[in-house]
Amino acid sequence: MSPLTGAPRDRLRIAIQKSGRLSEPARALLASCGLSWRESRDRLFCYGETLPIDLLLVRDDDIPGLIADGVCDLGIVGRNVLLEQAGERAANGRAEAFREWRPLGFGGCRLMLAVPDGWDWRGPAQLAGRRIATSYPALLSNWLQEQGIAAQVVTLSGSVEIAPRLGQADLICDLVSSGATLAANQLRPVQTLLESEAVLAGPARDFEAERAELAEMLLRRLDGALRVRHSKLLLFQAPRRLLPQLLSLLPDAESPTVMRLDQGEDDLALQALCHGAVTWQRLEELKRAGARGLMVLPVEGMLA
Ligand code: ATP
Ligand code: ZN
């Protein structure tokens, strides 16, 4: 039996982007949840080794459909793709089949309107009667409708940013992260339609039976990994009387553990999980405030 047909229902299958912006961070995140895989030669399917969780490597645009059809249980995809396809389904009168389960904190970008440099932008009302090129017709149409604006949506599958110069459209609606592509095409972002990032997508309904347990375990691990993603464990010693001041330098720490040392009545050992960046500068401030033996440790996971 091919691994892609008739999935045994006790294995979980996650679709991720085969190659692109989200591929590496998606794999790294799943690996940090303790998953590992044996890759097939065609690099389409990766068989889960440590857990019965397999990967399917596909184009990002195919991920919502694979979840809707039950070919995959979960997927990692941009919110922009998920909501565009959800909007398209809704416009065609089809039932909701997938939804966002978790924001994942990478692949951040915005769906924005961008106008040619020469435009004097005074707000959405200016869009009436204009032609807007986009690869996100459903999201754009919904937004225009909410704003009560009648504009023409020109759907393009790629190279949206050159549409104004080619005379295909007056302005564009596209994804922006740094804005460099827009600037290179003499365009200026003026209005955000959607804040996007990579998300864990799953079916609109919860799983049944065996796979529900596996999915719950994965979500628990994922939440733990996301929670400590930018966290560090900070260890140090200090005299008891300096404690209030040192703690005031750790506003991002989860209630620190304070321990007495074996020797030295007045000295304490502290252990704090910091969620903000622990920079050299912060360590130096703590040292100046009386901390000794400062040590910063990476945190790989956390189970609440
Ligand atoms: P595929 O071959 O899988 O269809 P693609 O070209 O559609 O790939 P990428 O360009 O790799 O996809 O983008 C994947 C996702 O990365 C986007 O859907 C979006 O959520 C996110 N992203 C982050 N920053 C940007 C950006 N500046 N431009 C486009 N997408 C971005
Ligand atoms: Zn794509």
The reply to whether ligand 1 has any atom less than 6 angstroms from the CB of 164 is: no
- C-beta 182 within 6 A of ligand 1: no
* Domain annotation covers residue 221: yes
Sheet (strand 131-134) strand order: 152-155, 131-134, 171-176, 109-116, 187-196
Could you tell me if residue 281 is inside a domain?
yes
Cβ(42)–Cβ(82) under 8 Å? no
User: Whose C-alpha lies nearest to ligand 1, atom 13?
Assistant: 21
292 phi and psi angles, rounded to 5 deg: -130, 160
Nearest one of 207, 202, 199 to 14, comparing CA atoms: 202
Q: Report pLDDT digits (tens) over 136-168.
A: 999 999 999 999 999 999 999 999 999 999 999
Do 40 and 46 contact (CB within 8 A), yes or no?
Answer: yes
pLDDT of residue 109: 98
pLDDT confidence of residue 2: 45
Residues 156 and 185 in one domain: yes
Same domain, yes or no: 55 and 154: no
| 141 and 273 belong to one structural domain | no
Same domain as 48, residue 183: no
Whether 7 maps to a domain, the answer reads no
Task: Out of 18, 19, 21, give the residue to mutate to test ligand 1, the one with the largest number of ligand atoms within 8 Å of its CB.
Answer: 21
Q: Is residue 266 part of a domain?
A: yes
Identify the nearest ligand to the CA of 76 by its number.
Answer: 1
Cα(195) to centroid of ligand 2, in Å?
18
Both 102 and 19 in one domain: the answer is yes
Same domain, 222 and 252: no
pLDDT the model gives residue 233: 95
Confidence of residue 241 (pLDDT cuts 50, 70, 90): very high
Rounded to an integer, the average pLDDT of 96-124 is 96
78 lines ligand 1 (CB under 6 A): yes
Read off φ and ψ for residue 281, nearest 5 degrees.
-60, -40
Q: Mark whether 182 and 80 lie in a shared domain.
A: no
Amino acid 276: pLDDT = 87
Beta-carbon contacts of 247 under 8 Å, excluding residues fewer than 6 positions away, are 253, 256
- Would you list the DSSP string of 250-298? -TTEEEEEEEE-SS-TTEEEEEEEE-S---HHHHHHHHHTT-EEEEEEE
Same domain, 72 and 17: yes
| Whether residue 207 has pLDDT greater than 90 | no
Q: Ligand 2 centroid vs 61 CA: distance in angstroms?
A: 5
- The pLDDT score that the predictor gives to residue 41 is 72
pLDDT (0 to 100) of residue 43: 82
Which pLDDT score, from 0 to 100, does residue 304 have?
Answer: 74
**CATH label of the domain that carries residue 249:** 3.30.70.120
pLDDT tens profile 170-203: 999 999 999 999 999 999 999 999 999 999 999 9
CATH of the domain at 137: 3.40.190.10
Residue 6 has pLDDT above 60, yes or no: no
Phi first, then psi, for residue 127 (nearest 5°) are -85, -10
- The full DSSP string for 46-90 is EEESSSSEEEEEE-GGGHHHHHHTTS-SEEEEEHHHHHHHHHHHH
Cβ distance 16 to 201 under 8 Å? no
Going by pLDDT thresholds of 50, 70 and 90, the confidence category of residue 263 is: confident
pTM for this prediction: 0.88
DSSP letter (8 states) at residue 35: -
Residues 89 and 27 in one domain: yes
Residue 156 domain flag: yes
Task: Indicate whether 52 belongs to any domain.
Answer: yes
Handedness of CA 275, 281, 287, 289 (dihedral sign): negative
Domain residues for the domain of 191 are 109-196
Domain-embedded: residue 6: no
Examine the domain organization and report whether 153 and 273 are in the same domain: no
Q: Do 126 and 90 fall into the same domain?
A: no
Q: Give the closest residue (by CA) to ligand 1 atom 17.
A: 78
Residue 133 near ligand 1, beta carbon < 6 Å:
no
Residue 27 is assigned to a structural domain of this protein: yes
The reported pLDDT for the residue numbered 240 is 93
Asked whether residue 12 carries a pLDDT value surpassing 70, the answer given is yes
Query: What pLDDT is attached to residue 39?
Result: 81
Q: How many domains does the chain have?
A: 3
Among the residue ranges 26-30, 193-197, 275-279, the one predicted with the least confidence is 275-279
Instruction: State whether 113 and 186 are in the same domain.
Output: yes
Does residue 301 register a pLDDT over 90? no
